[in-house]
Amino acid sequence: MLVAGAWLAAPAAAEDRASMEEMESLLLRQPLRISAAVSRIARPESDAPAMFFLGFAGFGEEKVFAEEIRFAADVIAARYGTAGRSLLLVNDRRDAGALPLATVSSLRYALRALARRMDVEQDVLFLAISSHGGEHHVVVSHEPLALGDLTDEALAAALDDSGIKWRVIVISACFSGSFIEALSDPHSIVITAAAADRSSFGCADDRDLTWFGEAFYRDALPAASSLRDAFERAVSLIAAREHIEDVEPSLPQAHFGAAIESRLAELESARR
């Protein structure tokens, strides 16, 4: 039996090695996959500002984050016309090859690639992030790969390095309020699902959206007059739900830069 046991263990180990090698090969191909996706994105010929969408689903072992980013992409496309100017970085155990992976390095690469398609002095980037989170980081995971988490400082550095001036950043994760200080400036809106010391809810594999995703992307944003209005509506919806469920309030947070709200009003006016 010992011999048989040892013999039976070998195929499993070989399968694990093959799986790891396949995933590592996939990881190495990410720059080419991102470049191919970005090559299909074109800026409108108009001189008016345009919006570009970048989605990042960090935790691949639960489908809710991938589903939320796909849903967010559709909502932003309907409101701001980003359908042909969207790039999704998604970790999803159900299909590792469907979209470019969400990693810290792929995010940096994607931001630089998108910047080359944008007028970085006037176009707006909408960056949507969905994952588990901790203080000053969101979780980045796609088993069996060992990936580093995305910190607030790394995200701020990647955005600054891209040269993209106007930014809307929405982070759906626990403790995501801890990102606001690093990302705030007059040209940015930063919206987070929770305060720096609070959890958010609905991060489960049997769900398609988190509680924040339902309140902000599904229920508030489509009919809201502005992103500020959408945030305020979402805060009210989440507070009511958390009261009914008798959980500690998540206290979503936001920073609205003094300059960017007028830029978004100009962008929406150009689409009417």
H/E stretch holding 90 reads strand 86-90
- Give the CATH number of domain 20-39+48-271: 3.40.50.1460
Residue 10 in this model has a pLDDT that exceeds 60: no
Residue 5 in this model has a pLDDT that exceeds 70: no
CA distance 57 to 46: 31
For position 41, what pLDDT does the model report? 94
The DSSP secondary-structure symbol of 239 reads H
Q: What is the pLDDT of residues 49-102, one digit of tens each?
A: 999 999 999 999 999 999 999 999 999 999 999 999 999 999 999 988 889 999
Question: At 51, is the secondary structure helix, strand, or coil?
Answer: strand
CA distance 118 to 49: 9
Q: What is the pLDDT of residues 139-165, one digit of tens each?
A: 999 988 889 999 999 999 999 999 999
Annotated domain spans of the chain: 20-39+48-271
For position 48, what pLDDT does the model report? 86
> Which backbone phi and psi does 136 adopt, to 5 degrees?
65, 20
Residue 121: which of 49, 185, 67 has the closest Cα?
Answer: 49
